[in-house]
């Protein structure tokens, strides 16, 4: 990849993160600084989005990366719980407030549920880039221990090493078809999700009570892969071997309980009966990210699935659902996500595993396709894996993870000459606070729907034109008398 292309991508990523940065302080003086995933639609702080943002920020501005993760810790509770979403500078929007997993419809500073626990791994990566602040690695250890101990106490009641999610969006894969059978009418994109939230409120989000009373909970493969990776990171940061043992326990549990030898995939386990959910999504391939994964299993995941053109070897990036699945949808699908399109964070997790197992050419092909996607459409929320169309939110923060996969040839250069620089990281930097409104929220939704409507109308017109040409060609051909071998007279035709 040429240096100029690399610098251009890095400059675009830096400007996006800087433009989405928000900082300020609450009425009680608590400071915050974080990157919105994509305002105005996504204007709050999301747990794993902030981890991804910090991983990229460390290439441009390590102090800002550290502030992103510190802000995430400040949004947590003293017992170690860290929420899925934190509403620092703006309350939940009118459209989303009733469906946020909060203790009440109004007046909440954060949600009451979790998200894929990436924090310790992100903390380790940012600490490694913090030569200017060597104390950062140890600074958060107490809070990180509390967080991962909270997850073990509250989300692994049976002690099998696999933590559970009680809402589909806790994994970050909100509308994935792998949750359809588990949550049924209460899936994330259906009206029943309101009841899923309400019944959790009535039990005060007591995970033990919810898991004991209901079957709508999942030991999710992706969540537990990230949990194991983060436990290993915490063990390295703290020097505490207990966290390494817990990580190994989770890795063994994934192999013993989630691996399907016949299908060559890992399955989520649902309900009190640990029923396997046999829907092939990229989550089933996520254990490739575990360095301890046996080579035989890793090669099966890659050869039988990841590089199989019938399943996951699409022209662009990696589909979020196997192309063989009936639920696969390559394009925009009624504001539902994770039902087929490709996401950059999927590539970030899986491409390094391809190299580790010796499939460097495939990793290069996938990475090149991602570069093409971003150069054509910018950093979008997700992309059509078949035609490369950019979809959903624009200026989407974690899609800048592409920078973390590219060569570091321009690492010392913050961006191309003349590129706008990010505001100062310190307290002197001006706060960029976004205030939501019904009008802006409606505009964002309408623009997305209108774009998809125009695309479908163009496709329909194109198909109609092809059909018209076909009919004209068909009518121009003479009809033959098979008995005589000659065309019928036109009066008969």
Please give the pLDDT value at position 369: 98
- Contact at 8 Å (CB) between 290 and 283? no
Is residue 396 domain-shared with residue 450, that is, in the same domain? no
- Contact at 8 Å (CB) between 138 and 230? no
Domain residues for 116?
Answer: 3-432
**For residue 125, what are the contacts with CB-CB under 8 A and spacing of at least 6?**
54, 55, 58
Task: Give the residue from 413, 432, 451 where a domain finishes.
Answer: 432
Taken as a whole, the chain contains a residue count of 493
Is residue 154 domain-shared with residue 294, that is, in the same domain? yes
Is residue 399 domain-shared with residue 476, that is, in the same domain? no
Residue 57 CA to residue 8 CA, distance in Å, equals 16
**For residue 461, what are the contacts with CB-CB under 8 A and spacing of at least 6?**
none
Residue 163's nearest CA partner among 110, 99, 208 is 208
Query: Tens-of-pLDDT digits for all 493 residues of the chain?
Result: 789 999 999 999 999 999 999 999 999 999 999 999 999 889 999 999 999 999 999 999 999 999 999 999 999 999 999 999 999 987 776 556 667 888 887 778 999 999 999 999 999 999 999 999 999 999 999 999 999 999 999 999 999 999 999 999 999 999 999 999 999 999 988 989 999 999 999 999 999 999 999 999 999 999 999 999 999 999 999 999 999 999 999 999 999 999 999 999 999 999 999 999 999 999 999 999 999 999 999 999 999 999 999 999 999 999 999 999 999 999 877 778 999 999 999 999 999 999 999 999 999 999 999 999 999 999 999 999 999 999 999 999 999 999 999 987 443 333 333 333 344 444 333 433 333 444 544 554 565 566 656 766 777 788 788 777 766 665 555 555 545 555 555 444 4
Is residue 207 domain-shared with residue 164, that is, in the same domain? yes
Is residue 106 domain-shared with residue 223, that is, in the same domain? yes
If phi over 0 gives left and psi between -120 and 50 gives alpha, with beta otherwise, what is residue 18?
Answer: alpha
Is residue 381 domain-shared with residue 449, that is, in the same domain? no
CATH of the domain at 13: 1.50.10.10
Task: Give the residue from 410, 432, 454 where a domain finishes.
Answer: 432
Is residue 425 domain-shared with residue 445, that is, in the same domain? no
Please give the pLDDT value at position 96: 61
Residue 16 CA to residue 393 CA, distance in Å, equals 13
Is residue 405 domain-shared with residue 486, that is, in the same domain? no
- Contact at 8 Å (CB) between 317 and 346? yes
Is residue 391 domain-shared with residue 476, that is, in the same domain? no
Q: Domain total for the chain? A: 2
Is residue 473 domain-shared with residue 374, that is, in the same domain? no
Task: Give the residue from 432, 452, 470 where a domain finishes.
Answer: 432
Residue 353 CA to residue 360 CA, distance in Å, equals 9
DSSP assignment of 421-486 equals: PPPPSSTTSPP------HHHHHHHHHHHHHHHHHHHHHHHHHHHHHHHHHHHHHHHSPPEETTTTE
- Give SS3 for 283: helix
What's the helix, strand, coil split of the chain in %, to 5? 50, 10, 40
DSSP H helical ranges for 77-220: 119-128, 136-139, 141-155, 180-183, 193-202, 207-213
Is residue 409 domain-shared with residue 442, that is, in the same domain? no
Is residue 362 domain-shared with residue 491, that is, in the same domain? no
């Amino acid at each position: 990849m040429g240096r100029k292309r690399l610098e251009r991508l890095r400059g675009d990523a830096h400007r996006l993160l800087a433009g989405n940065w928000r900082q300020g302080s609450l009425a009680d003086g608590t400071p915050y600084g974080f990157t919105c995933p994509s305002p105005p639609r996504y204007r709050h702080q999301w747990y794993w989005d902030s981890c991804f943002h910090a991983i990229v920020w460390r290439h441009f501005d390590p102090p800002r990366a550290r502030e992103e993760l510190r802000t995430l810790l400040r949004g947590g509770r003293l017992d170690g719980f860290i929420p899925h979403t934190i509403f620092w500078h703006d309350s939940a929007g009118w459209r989303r407030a009733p469906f946020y997993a909060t203790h009440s419809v109004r007046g909440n500073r954060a949600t009451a549920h979790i998200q894929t626990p990436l924090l310790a791994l992100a903390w380790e990566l940012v600490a490694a880039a913090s030569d200017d602040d060597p104390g950062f690695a140890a600074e958060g250890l107490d809070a990180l221990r509390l967080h991962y101990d909270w997850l073990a106490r509250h989300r692994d009641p049976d002690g099998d090493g696999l933590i559970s999610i009680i809402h589909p969006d806790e994994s970050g894969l909100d509308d994935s078809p792998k949750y359809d059978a588990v949550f049924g009418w209460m899936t994330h994109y259906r009206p029943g999700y309101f009841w899923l939230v309400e019944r959790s409120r009535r039990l005060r989000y007591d995970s033990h009570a919810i898991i004991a009373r209901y079957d709508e909970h999942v030991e999710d493969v992706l969540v537990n892969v990230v949990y194991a990776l983060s436990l290993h990171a915490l063990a390295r940061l703290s020097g505490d071997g207990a966290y390494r043992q817990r990580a190994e326990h989770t890795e063994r549990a994934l192999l013993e309980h989630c691996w399907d030898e016949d299908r060559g995939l890992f399955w989520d386990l649902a309900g009190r009966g640990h029923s396997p959910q046999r829907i092939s999504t990229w989550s089933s391939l996520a254990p490739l990210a575990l360095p301890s994964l046996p080579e035989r299993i890793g090669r099966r995941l890659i050869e039988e699935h990841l590089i199989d053109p019938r399943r996951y070897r699409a022209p662009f990036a990696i589909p979020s659902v196997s192309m063989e699945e009936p639920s696969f949808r390559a394009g925009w699908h009624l504001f539902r996500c994770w039902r087929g399109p490709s996401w950059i964070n999927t590539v970030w997790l899986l491409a390094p595993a391809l190299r580790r197992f010796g499939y460097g050419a495939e990793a290069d092909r996938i990475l090149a396709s991602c570069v093409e996607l971003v150069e054509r459409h910018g950093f979008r929320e997700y992309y059509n894996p078949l035609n490369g169309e950019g979809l959903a939110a624009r200026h989407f923060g974690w899609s800048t993870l592409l920078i973390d996969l590219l060569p570091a040839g321009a690492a010392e250069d913050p961006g191309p000459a003349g590129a706008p620089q990010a505001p100062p990281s310190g307290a002197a930097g001006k706060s960029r606070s976004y205030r939501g409104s019904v009008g802006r929220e409606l505009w964002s939704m309408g623009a997305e729907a209108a774009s998809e409507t125009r695309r479908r109308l163009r496709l329909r017109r194109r198909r109609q034109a092809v059909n018209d040409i076909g009919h004209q060609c068909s009518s121009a051909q003479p009809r033959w008398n098979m008995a005589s071998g000659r065309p019928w007279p036109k009066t008969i035709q």
